[in-house]
Chain A
């Protein structure tokens, strides 16, 4: 285990559901990231938090709502998603928010029906 834990590992939801993804890191890092991984596309940055403050929102639709209550926990709240939002959602942490030496979680495989 890398020290970055994501739950759930798999999630199937309808377009009208509301669900949340959870990420927890035990590495003492100060920065946390959400990435989206779709087939045959580059990893897409969604959000960055540094010391609990959001420092990056990469033009993500409002149906994705992040929350970072402390430096160890990160959530991604989902509501009224579209089928094209189906992807692997990866959380990562790092010592600070300069994208160096990211430690990724195993991801949540999301399917939107």
Chain B
């Protein structure tokens, strides 16, 4: 089955700096890669997603890049703000009749003043 690895597990950046979270996946047939943000004590929320036919997608201060050859994708947050502090989860969906969404273990991002 699919295996998703996420790094780093914790990340601390100063306000205004950029943050990058990286994920690798094992199933080359995976075709959909969402990112979820979970603030402390709250529900996970989808913040951005990308499909395998696209290499990069941006939404204001967040962007996701996908390298299908290397089987890795990354979340980039620019000009970080304190409200970006949360746990971020990547995920990969494999294809086929038994498609599943496999999550990474999460990255705790702390944006310090």
The answer for the CA separation of A104 and B89 in the assembled complex, in Å, is 13
Chain A, residue nearest B92 (CB): A99
B101 to A42, Cβ gap below 8 A?
A: no
B contact residues, total (Cβ < 8 Å): 21
A43 to B44, Cβ gap below 8 A?
A: yes
Query: With an 8 A cutoff between CB atoms, is A105 at the interface?
Result: yes
A42 to B102, Cβ gap below 8 A?
A: yes
The answer for the CA separation of A40 and B45 in the assembled complex, in Å, is 18
B42 to A106, Cβ gap below 8 A?
A: yes
Residue of A4, A41, A105, A106 near B105 (CB, 8 A) is A41
- Chain A residues, CB < 8 A from B103: 42-43
Residues of A near any B CB (own CB < 8 A): 2, 4, 40-43, 45, 56, 58, 90, 98-107
